[in-house]
Structures are given as C-alpha cells and as structure tokens.
C-alpha cells in the first residue's frame, strides 16, 4: 500500500472547512505494493523502496526526521498507531487517518463513505446524486477537480452552489507535510496554518 501524506494533508485541510466530508472509497484491496511508503517531506516525495515494516519505518526514518520537533513526543504514539492501522485498502486507511486526525484537532466534521449511499453513477453524476440525496446546497471542490470533470451548469440546475478552494501548495508544502505540522505545532496552530493556505474562488 502506498501512503501519500501529501494527499492526507489535503484531505484534512478540506475536512476542517466543511460540515460534511464524503470519502470516495474504492472497493477491493491494493495488492502487490504493500511494502512501499511514499512520504512528502520538505517539499519532495521520498519513496522508500526497501522492504520496511511499519515498526522499522518509525524506528529509523520518521524518528530521525522529526524527533527534534516541539510536539513530537505528544503526537508520535498517535501517528505510529495510524500508520500501523491493519488494512490493505488505501481508502479505508486514509479515512481512518483523517478521522483520527480530526479528533486530535478537535474538529467535528462528519465523515461518510460514498459507498454508504449505494449509488452506481460515475464521476460528476455520482457527486450530484449524493448531493441531491443529502439535500446539499453547497459543494466544495478543489480547483483542479472542477476543471477536470465538473460542469457548473449541471450544479446550478439543481440549485447547488460550487465553491472552489485553491490551496497554495508552494508556500505550504515547501517546508511542511502533515507529519511536520503535527509534530511542530499544537492543534489550534495546525488548523490556522491549513486555513490560511486555502483561498476560496468563484468558478
């Protein structure tokens, strides 16, 4: 399983600013890549191609990279537990990781799996069907997602407002990953940093 902390950082940032966050979970198991870990650290993606067990990953790489940070001892047990979460399903892993991070940050956003709605439509239609089922009035979208597959008129015809959230990746991710943020700042500071790097734009 490939763990991408860049993605987890983005998922957490979006979860903080919304009332309800829906995970698009994929049924099935990711096989054949269970020993590769992707870590976003200091602006780069490092792929650990060696065969690392979760325990060895913590004892070597993560401990050495972050043990000097201010809140390392407070957050280390939580992060270790999250990375060792027993699943080979990446969607389940990400949802558990973000759920527990929100609890740590004292954020009460409700998280739901898209599969809970038993909707079979795809892409934009699936988003619209879920929003209609929830009687939602506003949909938050990443800027890239909007330009890739969302049609504004389809949302407007259903009285759903789209808000684009554009995160300044360059300023936020040059120095920080979700791990560095958690190890370096208290929960209130983490939320403030994430919120300050998200800019709302009109589609």
Give the DSSP H or E segment for 161: strand 161-167
**pLDDT at res. 2:** 56
**pLDDT at res. 75:** 93
Q: By three-state DSSP, how is residue 23 classified? A: strand
In terms of pLDDT, which residue wins out, 157 or 195? 157
The structural domains of the chain, with segments of one domain joined by +, span 5-201
Q: Write out pLDDT tens, residues 41-57.
A: 333 334 343 444 556 66
**Nearest alpha-carbon partner for 150 in 80, 6, 184, 160:** 160
DSSP letter at 117 equals G
**pLDDT at res. 47:** 37
What pTM does this model have?
0.76
Cβ–Cβ < 8 Å for 124, 150: yes
Helices assigned H by DSSP within the chain: 5-16, 54-57, 63-66, 72-83, 90-104, 123-134, 143-149, 152-156, 169-173, 178-184, 187-196
- Compute the C-alpha angle 113/9/80, nearest 5°: 85
Alpha carbon 131 to chain centroid, angstroms: 20
Q: Is the confidence at residue 70, as pLDDT, over 90?
A: yes
Cβ–Cβ < 8 Å for 197, 167: yes
**pLDDT at res. 151:** 84
Q: Write out pLDDT tens, residues 153-189.
A: 998 999 988 888 777 655 555 455 688 889 999 999 9
Average pLDDT over the chain reads 74
């Amino acid at each position: 399983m490939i763990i991408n902390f860049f993605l987890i950082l983005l998922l957490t940032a979006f979860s903080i600013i919304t009332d309800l966050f829906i995970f698009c979970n994929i049924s099935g198991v990711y096989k054949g890549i269970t020993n590769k870990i992707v870590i976003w650290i200091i602006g780069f993606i490092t792929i650990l191609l060696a065969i690392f067990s979760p325990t060895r990953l913590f004892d070597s790489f993560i401990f050495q990279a972050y043990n000097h940070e201010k809140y390392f001892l407070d957050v280390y047990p939580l992060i270790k537990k999250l990375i060792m979460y027993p699943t080979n399903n990446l969607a389940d892993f990400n949802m558990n990781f973000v759920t527990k991070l929100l609890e740590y940050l004292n954020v009460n956003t409700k998280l739901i799996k898209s599969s809970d709605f038993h909707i079979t439509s795809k892409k934009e239609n699936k988003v619209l069907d879920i929003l209609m089922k929830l009687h939602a009035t506003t949909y938050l979208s990443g800027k890239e997602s909007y330009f890739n597959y969302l049609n504004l008129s389809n949302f407007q015809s259903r009285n759903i407002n789209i808000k684009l959230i554009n995160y300044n990746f360059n300023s936020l991710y040059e120095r920080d990953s979700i791990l560095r943020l958690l190890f370096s700042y208290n929960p209130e500071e983490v939320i403030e940093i994430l919120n300050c790097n998200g800019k709302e734009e009109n589609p």
